[in-house]
Chain A
Amino acid sequence: MIRMVGVAKVYPMGSEISPILEDVTLHVPQGMLAAIIGPSGSGKTTLLNLIGGLDTPTQGQYFLNGQDVSHFSREQWAHERNRTIGFVFQSFQLIPALSARDNVALPLVYRGVAPKVRRAQADQALEHVGLGHRRDHRPSQLSGGQQQRVAIARALIGDPALLLADEPTGNLDQATGQEILALLQTLNRAGKTVVIVTHSAEVAHACRQVIQMQDGHLVRVAQEMERV
Chain B
Amino acid sequence: MMTWRDGVRLAFHGMVSNKLRTLLTMLGVIIGVAAVIVLVAMGQGASSLVTSRIETLGTNVIFVSPAGGTPFPVSEATVIARALPFPTIVVPEMNTGATVSTLTASGGAQVVGTTPAYIHIGAVSLAAGHFLTPLEMTQDQPVAVLGANQVQTLFGGSNPVGASVMIMGQQFRVIGALNRVGQGPGASQDKDIFIPMTLAQSLLSTTQLSQITVKTPSPDQANLAADYLTNLYTNTFGSANAVTIASEDQVLQTLQATRATFTHLLAGTAAIALIVGGIGIMNIMLVSVTERTREIGIRQALGATREDILLQFLLESMAMSLSGGSVGAILGVGLVHLVPVLWKTPAVFSPNALILAFVFSTAVGLGFGLYPAIKASGLDPIQALRYEG
Contact = CB atoms under 8 A, between A and B. Distances in A.
Q: Chain B interface mostly helix, strand, loop or mixed?
A: helix
Contacts of A93: 294, 297-298, 301, 385
Nearest to B300: A78
Contacts of B304: 78, 110
Interface in A84-113: 87, 89, 93-95, 97, 106-107, 109-112
Contacts of B307: 75
Interface string B278-321: 00000000000000001101111111111110000000000000
Given A54-B381, A109-B6, A82 B306 contact: no
Contact of A82 (B3, B17, B303): B303
Contact of B303 (A49, A95, A110): A110
B105 interface: no
A54 B294 contact: no
A44 interface: no
A78 B385 contact: no
Given A95-B295, A112-B1, A82 B302 contact: yes
Contacts of A149: none
B298 to A, nearest CB: 5
B295 A110 contact: no
B303 A74 contact: no
Contacts of A89: 385
B381 A112 contact: no
Contact of B2 (A75, A87, A110, A154): A110
B338 interface: no
A199 interface: no
Nearest to A75: B305
Interface in A102-137: 106-107, 109-112, 115
Contact of B298 (A49, A79, A95, A112): A95
A7 to B, nearest CB: 16
B17 A97 contact: yes
B2 A106 contact: no
Contacts of A106: 298-299, 302
Contact of A87 (B294, B302, B306): B302
B324 to A, nearest CB: 22
B271 to A, nearest CB: 35
Contacts of B67: none
A109 B303 CA distance: 9
Interface string B1-27: 111001000000100010000000000
Interface residues of A, number: 26
Nearest to A111: B303
Contacts of B385: 54, 89, 93
Nearest to B381: A54
A75 B301 contact: no
B163 interface: no
Interface string A142-184: 0000000000001000100000000000000000000000000
Interface string B193-218: 00000000000000000000000000
A55 interface: yes
B306 A81 contact: no
Contacts of B308: 78, 110
Given A74-B306, A110-B308, A87 B1 contact: no
B83 interface: no
B355 interface: no
Contacts of B17: 97
B382 interface: yes
Interface in B238-277: none
B301 to A, nearest CB: 5
A93 B294 CA distance: 8
Given A49-B382, A74-B306, A97-B17, A81 B301 contact: yes
Contact of A112 (B2, B295, B300, B306): B2
B382 A55 contact: yes
Interface in B153-170: none
Contacts of B300: 54, 78
B293 to A, nearest CB: 12
B79 to A, nearest CB: 86
25 contacts: A52-B301, A54-B300, A54-B301, A74-B306, A75-B306, A78-B303, A78-B306, A78-B308, A79-B303, A81-B301, A81-B303, A82-B303, A87-B301, A87-B302, A89-B385, A93-B294, A93-B385, A95-B295, A97-B13, A106-B298, A107-B303, A109-B6, A112-B1, A112-B3, A158-B303
Interface of B: 1-3, 6, 13, 17, 294-295, 297-308, 381-382, 385
Interface of A: 49, 52, 54-55, 74-75, 78-79, 81-83, 87, 89, 93-95, 97, 106-107, 109-112, 115, 154, 158
Given A75-B307, A93-B385, A111-B303, 15 more contacts: A54-B381, A74-B305, A78-B300, A78-B306, A81-B302, A82-B303, A83-B303, A89-B385, A95-B295, A106-B299, A106-B302, A107-B302, A110-B2, A110-B304, A158-B303
